Amino acid sequence: MTTQPVQKNDTLEVTFTDLSHDGAGVAKVKGYTLFVPGGLPGEAAEVKVIKTKKGYGFGKLIKFIETSEDRVEPPCEIFDRCGGCQIQHLNPKGQAQFKYKMVTDALERLGGLKEIKVHPVLTMDHPWAYRNKASVPVASREGELIAGFYQKRSHFIIDMDHCLITDDTVDEVIQEVKRIAKDSGIEPYNEETHKGILRHIIVRVGKQTDEVMVVLVTKTDELPFRKRFIKELPEKFPQIKSIAQNINKKRTNTIFGNETRILWGKETILDTIGSVKFAISPRSFYQVNPEQTRVLYEKAMEYAELAGKETVIDAYCGIGTISLFLAQKAGQVYGVEIVPEAIEDARKNAELNELTNVTFEAGPAEEVIPNWYKQGIKADIVVVDPPRKGCDEALLQTILEMKPKRVVYVSCNPATLARDLRVLEDGGYKTIEVQPVDMFPQTMHCEAVAKIEL
């Protein structure tokens, strides 16, 4: 029986070769993997082993022996505790290089795709204050209402006054909601006891319109002091156009419940990406970085190579963001999304933009698209923008049967992108190129657009 090369409480000198999915430094000790928060690739450090498992372990930094030239001092004072960002200690050049490597490694190791052209990551000039939305859980600590993001790998809330990657207006409105809730004595929700009233504060802003929406998620039907919220919030922030209450009575980690009430103002706020307008409701999925979303969608449009007469299917269409971009240049666009409320929003957004060449249907893409195919709807181009788990296997098989001349894959997870590209390649398609886009600077996430052809 072979023993592990490291034991708990060992002190070792290691060199970091990579970053894990949650931003920890990765080191190898005689083939055994050690994850150490704070380490960056190329750095050497003295670490203490704090936990071991069969194939890997966890360590704690004691001191650096050699540091990376890409290391910077994180500007956020709660960076070491908050789970919102993982790589503020890596400069923009280092972040771009790491994300490029993350995409190419996934394609090569998981998809066996070694000859694909992967372009340098498209980054932001100012990679701060980009988020147009924040959803912060609320709790009580020492009798005081707090709200902020969860600590890394826990449900312990780090009270937060300001988030450096969130729009300043969003931050300021959250603080005002906290003030009103505290002054009114509203009881924060307690996950353990399932008691209390206020669960989450959600604020979103239209980056191009400055319109603001506030959503208060409660465990109870009634929101005490609701009149204070609808009086004081718009008085301090005239750009607030909508205040809503969502009711979630379940014992769950899911943020939203099924019932939403508009307490004050409009049902939606407006924003634009490029020339396309979007009406955003309290539960709408809308990309949180519209500046980079425009970059992403323009690349998807470029890869689609639309001449004006094509039939396009947009799987996982959400509120119609990509569909409406494509409809500006396509003959006909069909969008499908499993969330009925999102399809309602998509139809409204088509009307808002006076686009009549787009049809939306609610349901699972892997069921709706085969039905369309049976009805004679054959796509020239299929665009997929799936969740992190990637495309459903049935959808990929339908694409292979339908044989569109081109597939544009918008991905938020390089691992499932690589897996799905492998399926398409095995079915006769060729991946032409991949463009990574940094939608979430300071975090481990990287989006990418792939151009695939028969």
Q: Is the pLDDT of residue 89 over 80?
A: yes
The verdict on residue 370 lying in a domain is yes
Domain count, the chain: 3
Which one is catalytic: 76, 82, 412, 446? 412
The verdict on residue 423 lying in a domain is yes
| Boundary (domain end) residue, out of 23, 44, 66 | 66
What the block records as the tokens of 118 is 């992967």
**Cβ-contact 314, 334 below 8 angstroms:** yes
Residue 314 and residue 330 in one domain:
yes
| Boundary (domain end) residue, out of 51, 66, 81 | 66
The verdict on residue 81 lying in a domain is no
Q: Is the pLDDT of residue 339 over 90?
A: no
pLDDT at 4: 86
> What are the CB-based long-range contacts (under 8 Å, 24+) for 179-187?
180/225, 180/228, 180/229, 180/232, 180/233, 181/138, 181/145, 182/144, 182/145, 184/224, 184/225, 184/228, 186/145, 186/224, 186/225, 187/140
d(CA 151, CA 325): 37
The verdict on residue 282 lying in a domain is no
> What's the rounded mean pLDDT across residues 63-88?
95
The verdict on residue 89 lying in a domain is no
The verdict on residue 185 lying in a domain is yes
Angle at 308 between CA 307 and CA 313, to 5 degrees: 100
Residue 149 and residue 112 in one domain:
no
Q: Is the pLDDT of residue 430 over 60?
A: yes
pLDDT at 87: 97
pLDDT in tens, 216-275: 999 999 999 999 999 999 999 999 999 999 999 999 999 999 999 999 999 999 999 999
Residue 21 and residue 108 in one domain:
no
Q: What is the CATH number of the domain that holds 17?
A: 2.40.50.140
pLDDT at 272: 96
At 1, the pLDDT band (50, 70, 90 cuts) reads very low
Q: Collect all residues with Cβ–Cβ distance below 8 Å to 434 and sequence separation of at least 6.
A: 103, 107, 116, 117, 118, 119, 417, 448, 449, 450, 451
Using a 10 angstrom Cβ sphere, with 0-12 exposed, 13-18 middle and 19 or more buried, the burial of residue 106 is buried
- Block residue for tokens 């509120």: 319
pLDDT in tens, 100-127: 999 999 999 999 999 999 999 999 999 9
Do the strands 311-315 and 276-280 form a parallel or antiparallel pair, or are they unpaired?
Answer: unpaired
d(CA 365, CA 393): 11
> What's the rounded mean pLDDT across residues 164-174?
98
Q: Is the pLDDT of residue 411 over 50?
A: yes
Residue 264 and residue 176 in one domain:
yes
Residue 428 and residue 298 in one domain:
yes
Residue 296 and residue 328 in one domain:
yes
What the block records as the tokens of 362 is 């609610």
Residue 308 and residue 413 in one domain:
yes
pLDDT at 2: 58
Chain centroid, CA 53 distance in Å: 30
Residue 439 and residue 299 in one domain:
yes
pLDDT in tens, 299-325: 999 999 999 999 999 999 999 999 999
pTM of this structure: 0.93
| Boundary (domain end) residue, out of 271, 299, 332 | 271
The verdict on residue 262 lying in a domain is yes
Residue 347 and residue 420 in one domain:
yes
Q: What is the CATH number of the domain that holds 396?
A: 3.40.50.150
**Cβ-contact 265, 242 below 8 angstroms:** yes
pLDDT, mean over the chain: 96
Residue 329 and residue 446 in one domain:
yes
- Block residue for tokens 């309602």: 344
pLDDT at 105: 96
To the nearest whole percent, how much of the chain has pLDDT over 90?
A: 95
Residue 310 and residue 261 in one domain:
no
Q: Taking Cα atoms as reference points, which of 399, 396, 364, 367 lies closest to residue 380? A: 399
Q: Which amino acid, residue 189?
A: Y
Q: Is the pLDDT of residue 341 over 90?
A: no
Domain that holds residue 371: 99-125+289-453
Q: Which amino acid, residue 3?
A: T
At 155, the pLDDT band (50, 70, 90 cuts) reads confident
Q: What is the CATH number of the domain that holds 223?
A: 2.40.50.1070
The verdict on residue 71 lying in a domain is no
Active site residue 85: no
Q: Collect all residues with Cβ–Cβ distance below 8 Å to 238 and sequence separation of at least 6.
A: none
> What's the rounded mean pLDDT across residues 409-413?
98
Chain centroid, CA 212 distance in Å: 20
pLDDT at 3: 75
d(CA 75, CA 118): 31
Residue 433 and residue 343 in one domain:
yes
